[in-house]
């Protein structure tokens, strides 16, 4: 998978994720979040997190090469595996508890977070490997 965004989108993606995590709390303490608009802020926060994760995944790294591109492909494969595993465990838990009312609506967000973690792992693994090859 080729990177599509410039290098500065990587830290910008992390800043957007941090904003999405802390903004609901800040708005709550300011008195802006009520029962009437809680779902709106929840969904906006999830959308911001998805946008930040996509920016991180599709941004070039500083020393982008073919090996990092292959690592990004492996990361997507691993993220799909981890997402299916998490969702399967969640479904088994709901069947075990007998919960028929809750529905998981954050599947894509779980996938993106797992993908970001896998991408960061693969990129850092390649960097460390190249560092020790030079020595």
Contact criterion met (CB below 8 Å) for 113 and 53: yes
pLDDT in the model for residue 96: 87
Please give the model's pTM, rounded to 2 decimal places. 0.75
Is it the case that residue 6 has pLDDT exceeding 80? yes
Contact criterion met (CB below 8 Å) for 115 and 107: no
Helix (H) or strand (E) holding 60: none
Q: What is the tens place of the pLDDT at every residue in 54-105? A: 888 888 887 777 888 888 888 888 888 888 888 888 888 888 888 777 766 6
Sequence-separated (6 or more) residues with CB below 8 Å from residue 17 = 48, 49, 52, 53, 56
């Amino acid at each position: 998978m080729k990177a599509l965004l410039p290098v500065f989108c990587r830290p910008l993606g992390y800043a957007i994720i941090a904003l999405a995590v802390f903004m609901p709390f800040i708005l709550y303490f300011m008195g802006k979040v009520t029962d009437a608009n809680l779902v709106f802020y929840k969904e906006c926060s999830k959308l911001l997190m998805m946008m930040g994760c996509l920016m991180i995944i599709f941004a070039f790294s500083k020393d982008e090469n073919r090996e990092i591109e292959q690592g990004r492909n492996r990361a997507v494969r691993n993220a799909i595996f981890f997402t299916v595993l998490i969702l399967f465990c969640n479904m088994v838990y709901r069947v075990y508890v007998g919960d028929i009312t809750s529905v998981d609506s954050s599947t894509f967000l779980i996938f993106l977070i797992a993908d970001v973690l896998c991408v960061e792992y693969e990129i850092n693994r390649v960097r460390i490997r190249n560092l020790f090859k030079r020595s």
